[in-house]
Amino acid sequence: MNKFDVCVIGAGPSGYAAAMRALDFKKKVILIERNQVGGAGVHDGALSSKTWWELSRDYFTLRKHGKAFNFKVPEIPFQKVKAEVLKATSERKDLLEFHMTSMNNNGQDLLTFKRGEAKLLSKNNVEILGDNGAEVIEADNIILATGSRPRKLPNLPIDEKIVVTSDGIHNWTEWPKSMVIVGAGVIGCEFATIFSNFGKTQVNLIDKGERILPFEDGDVVDVIENNLEEKHVLVHRNSKLIDMKIVNGEVEYELEYDNGEKKKFQVEKALVSVGRIPNYENLGLQEIGVEIDARGIIDDLTQTSVSNIYAVGDITADIALVNVGELEGRYAIERIYGKPLHKLIYENISTIMFLAPEVAGVGFNEIQAKQKGINYKVTSLRYSNISRATAMRNTQGFIKLLVTNDDKMKILGMRVVGEHASSAIQAVALLISMDKGVEELAELIHPHPSIIEGIQECARMLLGKSMLKPTVLLESMACKTCVGGVYENIIY
Query: Which residues are at the interface with ligand NAD (CB under 6 A)?
Result: 153, 182-188, 190, 206, 208, 214, 241, 273-276, 320-321, 351-354
**Beta strands at 163-164 and 269-272: parallel, antiparallel or unpaired:** parallel
Contact status: 51 vs ligand FAD (CB under 6 A): no
Shortest distance (Å) from residue 444 CB to ligand FAD: 27
Starting at the earlier edge strand, list the strands of the sheet with 163-164.
163-164, 269-272, 178-182, 202-206, 234-236
Cβ neighbours of residue 71 closer than 8 Å, sequence gap 6 or more: 65
Residue at shortest CB range from ligand NAD? 185
Whole-number Å distance between alpha carbons of 285 and 302: 15
Among 13, 183, 418, 470, binds ligand FAD (CB under 6 A): 13
Whole-number Å distance between alpha carbons of 6 and 23: 10
* Enclosing H/E stretch for 298: none
CA-based R_g, the chain, Å = 25
Shortest distance (Å) from residue 150 CB to ligand FAD: 7
Shortest distance (Å) from residue 352 CB to ligand NAD: 6
* Residue type present at position 157: P
241 binds, among ligand NAD, ligand FAD, none (CB under 5 to 8 A by kind): ligand NAD
Whole-number Å distance between alpha carbons of 303 and 309: 6
Instruction: Tell me how many residues contact ligand FAD (CB under 6 A).
Output: 35
For 231-242, letters b (16+ CB in 10 Å) and e give: bebebbbebebe
Residues 186 and 213 sit within 8 Å (Cβ to Cβ): yes
314 binds, among ligand FAD, ligand NAD, none (CB under 5 to 8 A by kind): ligand FAD
Shortest distance (Å) from residue 406 CB to ligand FAD: 33
Contact status: 168 vs ligand FAD (CB under 6 A): no
Shortest distance (Å) from residue 319 CB to ligand FAD: 8
Contact status: 359 vs ligand FAD (CB under 6 A): no
Shortest distance (Å) from residue 323 CB to ligand FAD: 5
214 binds, among ligand FAD, ligand NAD, none (CB under 5 to 8 A by kind): ligand NAD
C-beta of 124 vs 456, nearer to ligand FAD: 124
DSSP result, 319-360:
---HHHHHHHHHHHHHHHHS--SS----TT--EEE-SSS-EE
C-beta of 255 vs 478, nearer to ligand NAD: 255
Among 4, 6, 7, 10, binds ligand FAD (CB under 6 A): 10
Query: Roughly what angle, to the nearest 10 degrees, separates helices 218-230 and 186-198?
Result: 30
Contact status: 323 vs ligand FAD (CB under 6 A): yes
Contact status: 188 vs ligand FAD (CB under 6 A): no
Residue whose C-alpha is closest to residue 283's, from 120, 443, 398, 424: 120
* Enclosing H/E stretch for 368: helix 366-371
Contact status: 314 vs ligand FAD (CB under 6 A): yes
C-beta of 139 vs 221, nearer to ligand NAD: 221
Query: Which stretches of the chain bind ligand FAD, using CB under 6 A?
Result: 9-15, 32-35, 39-41, 45-46, 49-50, 117-118, 145-148, 166, 187, 279, 283, 313-314, 320-323, 325
